Amino acid sequence: MAASSIPAGGSIDGSMLDDIIGRLLYGGRANEGKQVQLSETEIRHICVEARRIFLSQPNLLQLRAPINVCGDIHGQYVDLIRLFERGGFPPTSSYLFLGDYVDRGKQSLETICLLLAYKIKYPDKFFLLRGNHEDAKVNRVYGFYDECKRRFNVRLWKTFSDCFNCLPVAAVVDEKIFCMHGGLSPELDSLSRIEEIKRPTEIPDSGLLCDLLWSDPDPKIQGWGLSDRGVACTFGVDKLVEFLDKNNLELICRGHQVVEDGYEFFGQRRLVTIFSAPNYCGEFDNAGAFLNIDESLLCSFELLKALDSKARKTVGTRVSDNASTSSQSLSNLSKAISKKLPRFGSG
């Protein structure tokens, strides 16, 4: 399909945005690796408009269930389409993505363009947080820069960087479920600290913003530790429980780490890591998953199995056979602390 024309000084109207989304979805249902034909002007306008919307909304988003919470995508565009097939395409379902949209996968451009386009189309139903790969220092090295340069030019990569610098960094669902890409920080004593982070901003090498995007839970320690990543920190169960109880929260949802089943609990089931890229980089035999939170705050996981090359060619036509395995209810994990929110008990 040919790219639609947007005047150099113009903006994306509704019909143009629908055309862009349509082309992206068509390409995602085609064979893996098929590049979607978007013009540089179209992509620039997507970035500029998304940037404006990000800055118009808080750095700490206050969201309401029902909502699907999704982990890392990393340029695995076909798997992103499968995720929407399973969870419902916007605006049928609301979404919160936890970051790491680009790098490592084959189609970072299609991935981020579709996500930004949906953000523009449905700004109050579709939400994107910043991951550690939405950082020029990181995606300069791990693939996104090279993809932009090969398919367009370095100027477009810089336009994406300007957009990434405006992404929000955390969200709270119904005042109980705290979401970010990485984890906790010694500098995060209350949620109000997040609201004090100014945007646009690059990600510093240390401090609160760095930790929110880079830190990891560690079952082997108490307190705070040094990360093997060489940046940010690790935190033990004690710091997790202390923070949640102090801030009247029940659960942390975060991404940032590959986990075999697509999700993995930590700390008396009060933290869950969600990873939404199955067969990550073609090297891990992991499932992908996303978390569905319903109106009563009942949580369940939807799983995405890795597809072989033959199955990938049928995305959009045989997705019910290939895209998902099961939904596992969490309601039986422990006794509910209220009629609305199941407590994630010990285990």
Residue of 45, 133, 181, 256 marked active site? 133
Task: Give the pLDDT score at 327.
Answer: 42
Strand order in the sheet with 233-235: 216-217, 233-235, 224-226
Q: How far apart are CA 123 and CA 144, in angstroms?
A: 25
Task: Give the pLDDT score at 334.
Answer: 31
Task: Name 36's Cβ contacts closer than 8 Å, sequence gap at least 6.
Answer: 23, 24, 26, 27, 28, 109, 110, 113
| 3 domain residue, yes or no | no
Element (H, E) at 310: helix 309-312
pTM score: 0.89
Task: Give the pLDDT score at 336.
Answer: 31
Task: Name 167's Cβ contacts closer than 8 Å, sequence gap at least 6.
Answer: 54, 99, 128, 129, 130, 134, 199
Q: How far apart are CA 27 and CA 110, in angstroms?
A: 9
| 106 domain residue, yes or no | yes
| 233 domain residue, yes or no | yes
Task: Give the pLDDT score at 319.
Answer: 35
- Domain total in the chain: 1
Parts of the chain with a pLDDT under 70 = 1-11, 30-33, 308-347
Task: Give the pLDDT score at 203.
Answer: 98
| 239 domain residue, yes or no | yes
Task: Give the pLDDT score at 50.
Answer: 99
| 236 domain residue, yes or no | yes
Task: Give the pLDDT score at 270.
Answer: 98
Q: Is 256 one of the annotated active-site residues of the chain?
A: no
- Residue 185 domain boundaries: 14-329
Structure tokens, 141: 């090295």
Task: Give the pLDDT score at 314.
Answer: 52
Are 289 and 83 contacting, i.e. CB atoms less than 8 angstroms apart?
no
| 335 domain residue, yes or no | no
Task: Give the pLDDT score at 142.
Answer: 97
| 41 domain residue, yes or no | yes
The CB density around residue 84, as the number of other CB atoms within 10 Å, is 21
| 337 domain residue, yes or no | no
> Which domain CATH number covers 97?
3.60.21.10
